[in-house]
Structure 1
């Protein structure tokens, strides 16, 4: 089932916010460019067999910022509605909210990169959020047996270096710990958007059960524990965005609004 999945799309290239911001800026849908031309325009290095352009195109794709087509060795890059918002509000990707949002989609079931999703939303919860790098590699080999030579170097580098201040993971000797975050009231509409967008991308009906929500692993994507997740759902329900029926068994959740209703509000509560 996982035979054709390329877990090493990153080509062991470390993630760079600066490079991603440059890819986002040129993704206007108007040009068909080779990776060498993209490199010349942006200053992102590339080469015949390796480089940093193509991996960052894929990072942009998996974070929900861009889509692209590829034909005759040329890329046509297009910003998504989320990509347009980020370009407008935080073009250099400096806000913590932006990184929380992009990390959510990078690890999501529908949009995200398979390895990032498996690590964040499947493997770490299984180990109560702490395990050794060796066990992490073994788990990935079990999930993706057809993918030989799985490389963790780019994943580790992303969270240990470029995104270290966001405290997604702690690296302590041989152990890696997934960190839980506290709810930030200024991120409220980001939380709303991720919930509704993931709901829609997975083609769920307007009324779902709590089990359906569990399958999205929304809280895992936000790095919040179950108590925080349920508290956040209640706050979203208080704004009449969803309706939670706790009288039924199982509990059901009714979607009253669409993700597009909140896209432009994502950054509105930041001071």
Structure 2
């Protein structure tokens, strides 16, 4: 599915709605209208708008669902990531689940264009704190449109969305972005995110440089990581024999030892 800047129809993503759609997809229902999906899931919808269609889009962008359209009906299929999350955290209450959703929502070539642009271009340029009025000016100029930033802002400030991550806050007249602190119990998620991106953008290469990881894959940008953070994570993954770091070369190179698919089922394995 392709998306325009207003795919969200002014709604921010709500975890409960996304979780309901993933559970529905896992159940294997056939084609359903938005009204039928609303009846099954209790996600509200209306004649011209409502939350069902925007949340199907969010779940797709977050890499949880694949969607087939037939007229005004939708058939939902869980992705491998959606299946794992649906089995391990069906109500989307674990922080690791929220980080997985956030990462895909904002990654390099995400169809969530505003989210991707802010985390991959704006934050690296402006830093982690800047005046609130700067953001709409930059975003509107980039997209040559009057962009509704409310869904983006609410996504990280609303408890029904992803406020728990504390990656964005408002202090006075400023936005403050707070980098995700590396959590060793998330190491298989970090590995999955690195390798799935690697397989997507550099599929033919089993060895890449640290510069490739930072500048081609944009690895770690959704977490607002600095170079030191990325290196720390790579060392964690080397300890698990997921990758091998070759420090004899400059820039250092990373050899892939695993596939993202093999890491999927381990994402939740280290949680207490």
The TM-score normalised by the length of structure 1 is 0.93
Map of 2:18 onto structure 1: 20
- Map 1:1-271; keep pairs closer than 5 Å: 6-28=4-26, 29-145=28-144, 148-162=145-159, 163-204=162-203, 205-215=205-215, 216-271=217-272
- CA deviations 1:134-193 (Å, max 9, x no partner) are 211122123212xx2210011111111132221111211221111012211111111111
2 CA distance for matches of 1:94 and 1:112?
Answer: 24
Consecutive unaligned residues in structure 2, runs of 5 or more? none
- C-alpha contact (below 8 Å) 2:191/2:260 kept by paired residues: yes
What SS is found at the alignment partner of 1:262?
helix
Q: CA deviation at 1:5?
A: 5.5
Q: CA deviation at 1:24?
A: 0.8
RMSD after superposition: 1.6
More displaced stretch, 19-28 vs 110-119: 110-119
1 CA distance for matches of 2:96 and 2:22?
Answer: 17
Q: CA deviation at 1:128?
A: 1.3
2 CA distance for matches of 1:14 and 1:238?
Answer: 38
1 CA distance for matches of 2:111 and 2:5?
Answer: 11
Relative to 1, partners in 2 of residues 1:250 and 1:227: Cα closer, same or farther, differing over 3 Å?
A: closer
Q: CA deviation at 1:112?
A: 4.7
Q: CA deviation at 1:226?
A: 2.2
Q: CA deviation at 1:13?
A: 0.8
- C-alpha contact (below 8 Å) 2:61/2:110 kept by paired residues: yes
- C-alpha contact (below 8 Å) 2:25/2:78 kept by paired residues: yes
2 CA distance for matches of 1:262 and 1:214?
Answer: 21
More displaced stretch, 108-117 vs 60-69: 108-117
Aligned residues, how many?
266
2 CA distance for matches of 1:260 and 1:111?
Answer: 20
- C-alpha contact (below 8 Å) 1:38/1:53 kept by paired residues: yes
Consecutive unaligned residues in structure 1, runs of 5 or more? none
2 CA distance for matches of 1:60 and 1:176?
Answer: 26
2 CA distance for matches of 1:142 and 1:256?
Answer: 42
Q: CA deviation at 1:130?
A: 1.7
What SS is found at the alignment partner of 1:58?
helix
1 CA distance for matches of 2:29 and 2:166?
Answer: 37
2 CA distance for matches of 1:137 and 1:79?
Answer: 34
2 CA distance for matches of 1:76 and 1:179?
Answer: 37
